[in-house]
Amino acid sequence: MARRALITGISGQDGSYLAELLLARGYEVHGCVRRVALHDDRARLARLAPILDRLTLHPVALESEAALHRLLRAVAPDEVYHLAAQSYVAESFAEPYATLDANVVGTLNVLNAARDCGRETRVYFAGSSEMFGNAPAPQHEGSPCLPVSPYAISKLAGYHLARMFREAHGCFVACGILFNHESPRRGPEFVTRRVARAAAEVRLGLRRKLELGDLQARRDWGYAPEYVEAMWRMLQRDEPGDFVVATGETHSVQELAERAFGHAGLDWRDHVESAAEQRRPAEVRELRGDASKARRELGFEPRVRFDELVALLVQAELDALEGRGAPAAAPPPRRAGFGDRRPGPTMPA
Protein backbone atom coordinates (compact mmCIF):
# COMPACT_ATOMS: atom_id res chain seq x y z
CA MET A 1 0.00 0.00 0.00
CA ALA A 2 1.35 3.41 -0.94
CA ARG A 3 2.54 5.64 1.85
CA ARG A 4 0.42 8.75 2.29
CA ALA A 5 1.85 12.24 2.80
CA LEU A 6 0.24 15.60 3.52
CA ILE A 7 2.09 18.80 2.60
CA THR A 8 1.02 22.17 3.99
CA GLY A 9 2.10 24.95 1.65
CA ILE A 10 2.19 22.52 -1.28
CA SER A 11 1.77 25.30 -3.86
CA GLY A 12 5.01 27.03 -2.86
CA GLN A 13 8.53 26.47 -4.12
CA ASP A 14 9.46 23.77 -1.62
CA GLY A 15 6.01 22.18 -1.60
CA SER A 16 5.97 21.71 -5.35
CA TYR A 17 9.44 20.11 -5.45
CA LEU A 18 8.61 17.91 -2.47
CA ALA A 19 5.34 16.77 -4.09
CA GLU A 20 7.26 15.72 -7.21
CA LEU A 21 9.82 13.85 -5.12
CA LEU A 22 7.16 11.99 -3.12
CA LEU A 23 5.18 11.03 -6.22
CA ALA A 24 8.37 9.67 -7.78
CA ARG A 25 8.80 7.51 -4.67
CA GLY A 26 5.30 6.08 -4.96
CA TYR A 27 3.52 8.17 -2.32
CA GLU A 28 -0.10 9.20 -2.36
CA VAL A 29 0.22 12.97 -1.97
CA HIS A 30 -2.28 15.34 -0.38
CA GLY A 31 -1.78 19.08 0.01
CA CYS A 32 -3.24 21.96 1.98
CA VAL A 33 -3.93 25.20 0.16
CA ARG A 34 -5.88 28.27 1.10
CA ARG A 35 -9.30 28.42 -0.51
CA VAL A 36 -8.35 31.55 -2.45
CA ALA A 37 -5.70 29.56 -4.31
CA LEU A 38 -8.36 27.21 -5.63
CA HIS A 39 -11.11 29.71 -6.37
CA ASP A 40 -9.71 33.13 -7.13
CA ASP A 41 -6.16 32.82 -8.41
CA ARG A 42 -5.31 29.78 -10.49
CA ALA A 43 -1.79 31.21 -10.97
CA ARG A 44 -1.04 30.16 -7.40
CA LEU A 45 -1.17 26.54 -8.54
CA ALA A 46 1.15 27.11 -11.50
CA ARG A 47 4.09 25.35 -9.83
CA LEU A 48 1.96 22.22 -9.53
CA ALA A 49 0.64 22.27 -13.10
CA PRO A 50 2.59 19.22 -14.40
CA ILE A 51 1.43 17.02 -11.49
CA LEU A 52 -1.89 18.57 -10.50
CA ASP A 53 -3.94 15.61 -11.72
CA ARG A 54 -1.96 13.29 -9.41
CA LEU A 55 -2.59 15.28 -6.23
CA THR A 56 -5.49 15.66 -3.83
CA LEU A 57 -5.75 19.24 -2.61
CA HIS A 58 -7.73 20.39 0.44
CA PRO A 59 -8.73 24.01 1.08
CA VAL A 60 -8.05 24.69 4.75
CA ALA A 61 -6.87 27.59 6.88
CA LEU A 62 -4.14 26.47 9.24
CA GLU A 63 -5.46 28.91 11.85
CA SER A 64 -8.59 26.70 12.12
CA GLU A 65 -7.84 23.98 14.66
CA ALA A 66 -11.13 22.17 14.02
CA ALA A 67 -10.62 22.07 10.25
CA LEU A 68 -7.12 20.66 10.62
CA HIS A 69 -8.29 17.94 13.01
CA ARG A 70 -11.00 16.91 10.53
CA LEU A 71 -8.50 16.88 7.69
CA LEU A 72 -5.82 14.86 9.49
CA ARG A 73 -8.33 12.28 10.72
CA ALA A 74 -9.76 11.89 7.22
CA VAL A 75 -6.45 11.70 5.35
CA ALA A 76 -4.60 9.77 8.08
CA PRO A 77 -1.16 10.52 6.62
CA ASP A 78 1.98 8.57 7.37
CA GLU A 79 3.99 11.78 7.03
CA VAL A 80 3.15 15.48 7.36
CA TYR A 81 5.46 18.12 5.92
CA HIS A 82 4.59 21.47 7.50
CA LEU A 83 5.94 24.03 5.04
CA ALA A 84 3.16 26.64 5.03
CA ALA A 85 4.15 30.00 6.49
CA GLN A 86 4.25 33.72 5.95
CA SER A 87 7.88 33.44 4.85
CA TYR A 88 8.81 36.92 3.58
CA VAL A 89 10.95 38.71 6.17
CA ALA A 90 10.16 42.23 4.97
CA GLU A 91 6.42 41.52 5.07
CA SER A 92 6.73 40.32 8.67
CA PHE A 93 7.79 43.82 9.75
CA ALA A 94 4.73 45.28 8.01
CA GLU A 95 2.34 42.57 9.25
CA PRO A 96 3.76 41.16 12.52
CA TYR A 97 0.41 39.99 13.95
CA ALA A 98 -0.53 38.11 10.78
CA THR A 99 2.94 36.56 10.64
CA LEU A 100 2.79 35.32 14.23
CA ASP A 101 -0.77 34.07 13.79
CA ALA A 102 0.02 32.09 10.65
CA ASN A 103 3.40 30.76 11.71
CA VAL A 104 2.91 30.08 15.42
CA VAL A 105 -0.80 29.27 15.76
CA GLY A 106 -0.75 27.41 12.45
CA THR A 107 2.18 25.27 13.58
CA LEU A 108 0.55 24.50 16.93
CA ASN A 109 -2.63 23.42 15.16
CA VAL A 110 -0.75 21.16 12.74
CA LEU A 111 1.18 19.50 15.57
CA ASN A 112 -1.95 18.98 17.66
CA ALA A 113 -3.86 17.54 14.71
CA ALA A 114 -1.01 15.18 13.79
CA ARG A 115 -0.77 13.96 17.38
CA ASP A 116 -4.52 13.34 17.59
CA CYS A 117 -5.22 11.88 14.13
CA GLY A 118 -5.29 8.27 15.29
CA ARG A 119 -2.00 6.95 13.95
CA GLU A 120 1.73 7.46 14.48
CA THR A 121 2.22 10.25 11.98
CA ARG A 122 5.71 11.61 11.41
CA VAL A 123 5.97 15.39 11.11
CA TYR A 124 8.55 17.61 9.46
CA PHE A 125 8.67 21.22 10.67
CA ALA A 126 10.30 23.83 8.45
CA GLY A 127 12.51 26.02 10.60
CA SER A 128 14.66 28.78 9.16
CA SER A 129 18.22 30.03 9.31
CA GLU A 130 16.72 33.44 10.17
CA MET A 131 16.21 32.06 13.69
CA PHE A 132 19.96 32.45 14.27
CA GLY A 133 19.90 36.17 13.52
CA ASN A 134 23.33 37.64 14.14
CA ALA A 135 24.74 34.66 16.03
CA PRO A 136 28.38 34.04 15.02
CA ALA A 137 28.84 32.13 11.76
CA PRO A 138 28.96 29.33 10.89
CA GLN A 139 25.67 28.47 12.56
CA HIS A 140 24.89 24.87 13.56
CA GLU A 141 22.24 23.00 15.55
CA GLY A 142 23.73 24.17 18.86
CA SER A 143 24.25 27.83 17.94
CA PRO A 144 22.36 30.50 19.92
CA CYS A 145 19.23 31.90 18.32
CA LEU A 146 19.10 35.71 18.21
CA PRO A 147 16.18 36.52 15.87
CA VAL A 148 15.85 40.10 14.62
CA SER A 149 12.52 40.01 12.71
CA PRO A 150 8.95 38.99 13.47
CA TYR A 151 9.35 36.21 10.90
CA ALA A 152 12.42 34.84 12.64
CA ILE A 153 10.72 35.05 16.04
CA SER A 154 7.69 33.19 14.70
CA LYS A 155 9.88 30.44 13.27
CA LEU A 156 11.81 30.11 16.53
CA ALA A 157 8.53 29.76 18.43
CA GLY A 158 7.40 27.07 15.98
CA TYR A 159 10.73 25.30 16.40
CA HIS A 160 10.32 25.18 20.17
CA LEU A 161 6.73 23.95 19.78
CA ALA A 162 7.99 21.14 17.54
CA ARG A 163 10.66 20.16 20.05
CA MET A 164 8.11 20.29 22.88
CA PHE A 165 5.78 17.88 21.05
CA ARG A 166 8.74 15.57 20.49
CA GLU A 167 9.93 15.63 24.08
CA ALA A 168 6.68 16.01 26.05
CA HIS A 169 4.31 13.95 23.90
CA GLY A 170 6.70 11.47 22.28
CA CYS A 171 5.78 12.59 18.75
CA PHE A 172 8.09 11.99 15.82
CA VAL A 173 8.82 15.60 14.84
CA ALA A 174 11.94 16.44 12.83
CA CYS A 175 13.05 20.06 12.45
CA GLY A 176 14.85 21.22 9.34
CA ILE A 177 16.79 24.46 9.80
CA LEU A 178 17.21 25.27 6.13
CA PHE A 179 19.40 28.11 4.97
CA ASN A 180 18.41 30.09 1.87
CA HIS A 181 17.53 27.77 -0.99
CA GLU A 182 16.51 29.00 -4.39
CA SER A 183 15.14 27.91 -7.76
CA PRO A 184 13.19 29.35 -10.70
CA ARG A 185 10.06 28.62 -8.61
CA ARG A 186 11.09 31.08 -5.89
CA GLY A 187 8.51 33.80 -5.16
CA PRO A 188 9.06 37.09 -7.03
CA GLU A 189 9.46 39.06 -3.78
CA PHE A 190 12.68 37.28 -2.77
CA VAL A 191 16.01 38.90 -3.58
CA THR A 192 17.39 36.09 -5.75
CA ARG A 193 14.33 36.14 -7.99
CA ARG A 194 14.25 39.95 -8.08
CA VAL A 195 17.88 40.12 -9.15
CA ALA A 196 17.58 37.33 -11.72
CA ARG A 197 14.43 38.84 -13.22
CA ALA A 198 15.95 42.32 -13.37
CA ALA A 199 19.08 41.04 -15.10
CA ALA A 200 16.94 39.32 -17.72
CA GLU A 201 14.71 42.36 -18.20
CA VAL A 202 17.66 44.72 -18.61
CA ARG A 203 19.22 42.31 -21.09
CA LEU A 204 16.01 42.37 -23.15
CA GLY A 205 15.56 46.15 -22.89
CA LEU A 206 12.52 45.95 -20.61
CA ARG A 207 13.98 47.98 -17.73
CA ARG A 208 17.11 49.96 -16.79
CA LYS A 209 17.54 49.94 -13.00
CA LEU A 210 17.11 47.73 -9.94
CA GLU A 211 16.98 49.04 -6.38
CA LEU A 212 18.19 46.75 -3.59
CA GLY A 213 18.76 47.12 0.13
CA ASP A 214 21.97 46.16 1.94
CA LEU A 215 24.39 44.95 -0.73
CA GLN A 216 26.84 43.63 1.86
CA ALA A 217 24.44 41.24 3.64
CA ARG A 218 25.78 37.73 3.19
CA ARG A 219 23.77 34.54 2.76
CA ASP A 220 24.31 30.81 2.28
CA TRP A 221 22.42 30.05 -0.94
CA GLY A 222 21.66 26.49 -2.10
CA TYR A 223 19.41 24.74 -4.61
CA ALA A 224 15.86 23.99 -3.44
CA PRO A 225 15.34 20.50 -4.96
CA GLU A 226 18.38 19.24 -3.04
CA TYR A 227 17.03 20.68 0.20
CA VAL A 228 13.59 19.08 -0.07
CA GLU A 229 15.26 15.69 -0.44
CA ALA A 230 16.92 16.37 2.90
CA MET A 231 13.45 17.01 4.37
CA TRP A 232 12.29 13.61 3.19
CA ARG A 233 15.37 11.90 4.58
CA MET A 234 14.72 13.40 8.02
CA LEU A 235 11.44 11.47 8.24
CA GLN A 236 13.00 8.17 7.15
CA ARG A 237 15.28 7.90 10.17
CA ASP A 238 14.63 5.74 13.23
CA GLU A 239 14.66 8.79 15.54
CA PRO A 240 13.64 12.41 14.95
CA GLY A 241 16.15 15.22 15.21
CA ASP A 242 17.12 18.75 14.23
CA PHE A 243 19.24 19.36 11.14
CA VAL A 244 20.90 22.39 9.59
CA VAL A 245 20.84 22.15 5.79
CA ALA A 246 23.27 24.50 4.04
CA THR A 247 26.17 24.71 1.62
CA GLY A 248 28.67 26.18 4.09
CA GLU A 249 29.50 28.98 1.63
CA THR A 250 28.46 32.59 1.98
CA HIS A 251 28.06 35.29 -0.68
CA SER A 252 26.94 38.90 -0.53
CA VAL A 253 23.95 40.43 -2.29
CA GLN A 254 26.49 42.39 -4.33
CA GLU A 255 28.08 39.12 -5.49
CA LEU A 256 24.61 37.88 -6.42
CA ALA A 257 24.08 40.97 -8.58
CA GLU A 258 27.55 40.68 -10.13
CA ARG A 259 27.01 37.05 -11.16
CA ALA A 260 23.43 37.55 -12.35
CA PHE A 261 24.07 40.58 -14.51
CA GLY A 262 27.33 39.04 -15.70
CA HIS A 263 25.43 35.96 -16.92
CA ALA A 264 23.21 38.33 -18.89
CA GLY A 265 26.30 39.98 -20.40
CA LEU A 266 25.96 43.15 -18.34
CA ASP A 267 27.90 45.12 -15.74
CA TRP A 268 25.83 45.20 -12.55
CA ARG A 269 27.26 48.61 -11.58
CA ASP A 270 25.42 50.22 -14.48
CA HIS A 271 22.02 49.00 -13.30
CA VAL A 272 21.94 48.27 -9.54
CA GLU A 273 21.52 50.86 -6.80
CA SER A 274 21.35 50.52 -3.03
CA ALA A 275 18.28 52.36 -1.72
CA ALA A 276 17.61 53.14 1.93
CA GLU A 277 13.90 52.38 1.59
CA GLN A 278 14.74 48.83 0.50
CA ARG A 279 16.58 48.08 3.74
CA ARG A 280 14.98 46.14 6.58
CA PRO A 281 14.55 47.80 10.00
CA ALA A 282 17.07 45.23 11.33
CA GLU A 283 19.40 43.24 9.10
CA VAL A 284 21.10 39.90 9.58
CA ARG A 285 24.69 40.41 8.51
CA GLU A 286 25.81 36.87 7.71
CA LEU A 287 24.12 33.47 7.61
CA ARG A 288 26.45 30.57 6.89
CA GLY A 289 25.43 27.07 7.87
CA ASP A 290 27.44 24.17 9.21
CA ALA A 291 25.64 21.10 7.81
CA SER A 292 28.10 18.55 9.19
CA LYS A 293 25.34 16.66 10.99
CA ALA A 294 23.17 16.48 7.87
CA ARG A 295 26.11 15.23 5.84
CA ARG A 296 26.93 12.59 8.43
CA GLU A 297 23.42 11.35 9.30
CA LEU A 298 21.37 12.14 6.20
CA GLY A 299 23.97 11.80 3.48
CA PHE A 300 23.20 15.35 2.39
CA GLU A 301 25.71 16.83 -0.05
CA PRO A 302 25.00 20.08 -1.94
CA ARG A 303 25.88 19.70 -5.60
CA VAL A 304 24.63 22.91 -7.27
CA ARG A 305 26.95 25.70 -6.15
CA PHE A 306 26.52 29.46 -6.20
CA ASP A 307 27.71 30.35 -9.71
CA GLU A 308 25.75 27.53 -11.30
CA LEU A 309 22.68 28.40 -9.24
CA VAL A 310 22.69 32.06 -10.26
CA ALA A 311 23.21 31.19 -13.93
CA LEU A 312 20.29 28.75 -13.71
CA LEU A 313 18.01 31.44 -12.21
CA VAL A 314 18.87 34.08 -14.81
CA GLN A 315 18.54 31.66 -17.71
CA ALA A 316 15.11 30.59 -16.46
CA GLU A 317 14.01 34.24 -16.42
CA LEU A 318 15.36 34.84 -19.92
CA ASP A 319 13.57 31.73 -21.18
CA ALA A 320 10.29 32.78 -19.55
CA LEU A 321 10.46 36.33 -20.92
CA GLU A 322 11.26 35.05 -24.39
CA GLY A 323 8.42 32.53 -24.28
CA ARG A 324 10.52 29.40 -23.95
CA GLY A 325 9.77 28.58 -20.33
CA ALA A 326 6.06 29.15 -19.78
CA PRO A 327 4.54 26.56 -17.42
CA ALA A 328 2.16 23.99 -18.83
CA ALA A 329 -1.54 24.68 -18.39
CA ALA A 330 -3.02 22.99 -15.35
CA PRO A 331 -5.82 20.45 -15.85
CA PRO A 332 -9.12 21.62 -14.38
CA PRO A 333 -9.29 20.52 -10.70
CA ARG A 334 -12.26 18.49 -9.46
CA ARG A 335 -13.73 18.36 -5.97
CA ALA A 336 -12.46 15.78 -3.49
CA GLY A 337 -13.75 15.64 0.07
CA PHE A 338 -11.60 15.11 3.13
CA GLY A 339 -12.46 11.41 3.06
CA ASP A 340 -11.44 10.86 -0.57
CA ARG A 341 -8.02 9.23 -0.39
CA ARG A 342 -7.67 8.25 -4.01
CA PRO A 343 -4.61 9.80 -5.66
CA GLY A 344 -5.89 11.73 -8.59
CA PRO A 345 -8.79 14.16 -8.38
CA THR A 346 -8.09 17.53 -6.89
CA MET A 347 -10.13 20.14 -5.14
CA PRO A 348 -12.40 22.62 -6.84
CA ALA A 349 -11.98 25.35 -9.38
Residues identified as active-site? 128, 130, 151
CB-based burial, 292-302: b 16+ in 10 Å, e otherwise = ebbeeebebeb
Q: Are 82 and 110 in contact (CB under 8 A)?
A: yes
**CA-to-CA distance for 71 and 277, rounded, in angstroms?**
42
Beta strands (DSSP E) in the chain are 4-8, 28-33, 56-59, 79-82, 122-126, 173-178, 181-182, 210-212, 218-219, 222-223, 242-245, 251-252, 272-274
**CA-to-CA distance for 257 and 268, rounded, in angstroms?**
6
The 3-state DSSP class for residue 178 equals: strand
Q: Which amino acid is at 270?
A: D
**CA-to-CA distance for 4 and 30, rounded, in angstroms?**
8
Cβ neighbours, 10 Å, residue 227: 26
Q: Are 19 and 55 in contact (CB under 8 A)?
A: yes
Q: What is the DSSP string of 181-210?
A: EE-TTS-TTSHHHHHHHHHHHHHTTS-S-E
